[in-house]
Amino acid sequence: MRVSETQLALLEAASATETKTVAQLAEETGEDPAAVTGAAFELEAEGLLAVEEHVAETVTLTEEGERYREERLPELRLRAAAAEAGADESAVELGRLIGEAGLGGPEVDIALSNFARKGYGEIDDGAVSLSSDPDYDPDGDPEAEALETIEGNDEAVGYLDGGILDRLESRGLVERTETTVRSVTLTDEGVTALMEGLEAAETVGAITPELLTGGEWSEVEFAEYNVEADAETTYGGKEHILRQTANRVKDVLVGMGFQEMEGPHADADFWINDCLFMPQDHPARTHWDRFELDVPPMEELPEDLVERVEDAHRNGVGPDGDGYHSPWDEAFARAVALRGHTTSLSMRYLSGHAIGELEPPQRYFSVEKVYRNDTLDPTHLLEFFQIEGWVMAEDLSVRDLMGTFTEFYEQFGITDLEFKPHYNPYTEPSFELFGKHPETGELIEIGNSGIFREEVLTPLGVDCDVMAWGLALERLLMLMYGFEDIRDVHGTLCDLELLRNVEVVY
């Protein structure tokens, strides 16, 4: 009987009495584990080997786990520093201990929460006191010991305490993975075949130009295709869920009779703020909140509109109108910044500047990026997508706004909206929208809205009602898909598994 070289090596290394894993056999034969697996299945088909499969769990240290194994767990470092400083006698200032323990960044919180959990002592009013525990052994911490055991031994999962492993996993210090382990035993037929003598034939996996031109192809034996072999996982390209949802939002709004607006990401403050009756000394207009650009001011603004807007800021609008009594500077209005909201587009359209005068009724929207100099956290990014929209008609009320939102969010399965009165310099009345997070049950803010004041509409030349809103696309996604950190879908920390596997809800 002729078999391939790998098959022969495998048959010779396998045993009829002892089950060996593919990993073991690969090591013994010096063959690649994938080749051994392939050969094992081929020999199983011939009846010479029996192949068994089971799922085994392995555990490895994450980068953070590896670091704490070397530098010790943050809470142990804090405890050691506290013991050193005499915190078992009298309380020691926390700041000092953090410095002495060399804790920085997120390690501080990690140290504090685990210090409390492990009952090392009290932290009160910024001072640490250690509780007395005569049995405490600084080298006997079970979590630290488990990190040592796991290092370099991914089968340690078999004998470590499950509770400790769960804890380390929830701290993000270890990663558990399931793998299929295949093991092999020689069958009676295999033993007989070996005794009768087997001849190794060199098999060729792929035909090459050399084989063809040299004529060798006619002598070699070709490896058979194994159509049952595990295939490598490949991921096809996929539209990002943020883009998918943005497109769905557009479809829904078009279905509700809206037309799409477009306009610049970097715009004059005039369109971003002044038209919206935002006083020039409003905190949102300082460098704290806005991304100013080092580019020349915007020359082309409609002169008469600039005059009317300035007049609204200085003197107000209507017989009882009153201005802001604060400076208004045309140069500031012309300065260019990244838009902090897409309401700048609404101003361009409502003023007639974008596509000419509009007669009511009209409905417009955009789903576009806005930029804010915020602090990054689980619900805030420096840029995000805003779903802007407005309806221009006679006699609009808050009921119309609520109805529009109810209808819009229903399309995404969100039916428990809550509304809260709010203040915007440009709308009256105004309200914020909230939705319930499907996992945490927390109410999260998903938008802001209102009916434009006459101080906004009169200078624009609009003499009917306009209701308007800005909704956050990313927050809508959080409600739809239940993730808790906006950075799971954006940027370098994004959760690839989530992006690959998330189901598209239609």
Task: State the nearest-atom distance from the C-beta of 248 to ligand PHE, in Å.
Answer: 21
DSSP secondary structure of 131-174? PP-TT--TT--HHHHHHHHHTT-TTGGGTS-HHHHHHHHHTTSE
| Residue 437, number of CB atoms within 10 A of its CB | 16
Q: What is the DSSP string of 304-349?
A: HHHHHHHHHHHH-SSTT-----S---HHHHH-EEE-SSTHHHHHHH
Distance of closest approach, residue 366 Cβ to ligand PHE, in angstroms: 11
**Quick one: 182 or 290, whose CB is closer to ligand PHE?**
290
Q: Which residues ranging from 417 to 436 are in contact with ligand PHE (CB under 6 A)?
A: 424, 427
Number of helices (H) and strands (E) in the chain: give both, helices first: 20, 19
What is the x/- site pattern for ligand PHE, positions 446-475, by CB under 6 A? --xxx-----------------xxx-----
Residue 466 Cβ vs ligand PHE, minimum distance, rounded to whole Å: 9
* Nearer to ligand PHE (CB atom), residue 65 or residue 435: 435
CA distances from residue 53 to 14, 124, 180, 291, 344 in whole angstroms, order as listed: 16, 55, 7, 59, 62
For the CB of residue 432, give the shortest distance to ligand PHE in the complex, in Å: 9
**Span 41-80, contacts to ligand PHE by CB under 6 A:** none
Closer CB to ligand PHE, residue 275 or residue 305? 275
| Residues 148 to 167 in contact with ligand PHE, rule: CB under 6 A | none
Can residue 341 be called a binding residue for ligand PHE (CB under 6 A)?
yes
CB closer to ligand PHE out of 121 and 279: 279
Between 48 and 446, CB nearer to ligand PHE = 446
Count CA atoms within 13 Å of residue 248 on its CB side: 20
- Range 187-194 contact pairs with CB under 8 angstroms and sequence separation of 24 or more: 187/16, 187/47, 187/48, 187/49, 187/50, 188/16, 189/46, 189/47, 189/48, 190/11, 190/14, 190/16, 190/43, 190/47, 190/48, 190/49, 191/16, 193/1, 193/11, 193/48, 194/11, 194/12
**Alpha helices in 47-135, H assignment, sequence order:** 63-71, 74-84, 94-101, 107-117
Contact range with ligand PHE by CB under 6 A, out of 160-168, 194-202, 357-365, 445-453: 445-453
Nearer to ligand PHE, 435 or 450 (CB): 450
Q: Which of 6, 7, 245, 343 binds ligand PHE (CB under 6 A)?
A: 343
Closest separation in Å from C-beta 465 to ligand PHE: 13
Between CA 247 and CA 250 the distance in angstroms is: 5
Closest separation between CB of residue 440 and ligand PHE, Å?
23
Count of residues interacting with ligand PHE (CB under 6 A): 10
| 121 makes contact with ligand PHE (CB under 6 A) | no
Per the omega criterion (within 30 degrees of 0), is the bond before 74 cis? no
Closer residue to ligand PHE in complex, CB, 74/459: 459
Is the preceding peptide bond at 361 cis, omega within 30 degrees of 0?
A: yes
Residue 328 or 371 having the CB closest to ligand PHE? 371
CB 341 to ligand PHE: min, Å: 3
The interaxial angle of helices 107-117 and 74-84, nearest 10 deg, is 80
Q: How far is the CB of 372 from ligand PHE (least distance, A)?
A: 9
Which are the contacts of 42, defined by CB distance < 8 A and separation ≥ 6? Answer: 4, 7, 224, 226
Residue 245 engages ligand PHE in binding (rule: CB under 6 A): no
Which range in 43-51, 294-302, 442-450, 492-500 contacts ligand PHE by CB under 6 A?
442-450
- Shortest spacing between CB 83 and ligand PHE, in angstroms: 51
* Helix or strand holding residue 406 (H, E): helix 398-410
Residues 254 and 413: their CA atoms lie apart, in Å, by 18
Q: Name the residue nearer to ligand PHE (CB basis): 404 or 424.
A: 424
- Closest separation between CB of residue 321 and ligand PHE, Å? 20
Cα atoms found within 13 Å of the Cα of residue 234, Cβ hemisphere only: 4
Q: How far is the CB of 294 from ligand PHE (least distance, A)?
A: 24
Rounded to whole angstroms, how far apart are CA atoms 458 and 275? Answer: 10
Which residue in the shown chain puts its C-beta closest to ligand PHE?
Answer: 470
Could you list the beta-strand ranges (E) of 336-426.
336-338, 362-371, 383-393, 418-424
Between 168 and 468, name the residue whose CB sits nearer to ligand PHE.
468
User: To the nearest whole angstrom, how small is the minimum distance from the Cβ of residue 470 to ligand PHE?
Assistant: 3
Looking at beta carbons only, is 275 or 414 nearer to ligand PHE? Answer: 275
Nearer to ligand PHE, 450 or 459 (CB): 450
| CB distance 159 to 22 below 8 Å | no
Residues forming contacts to ligand PHE in the complex (CB under 6 A) are 341, 343, 424, 427, 448-450, 468-470
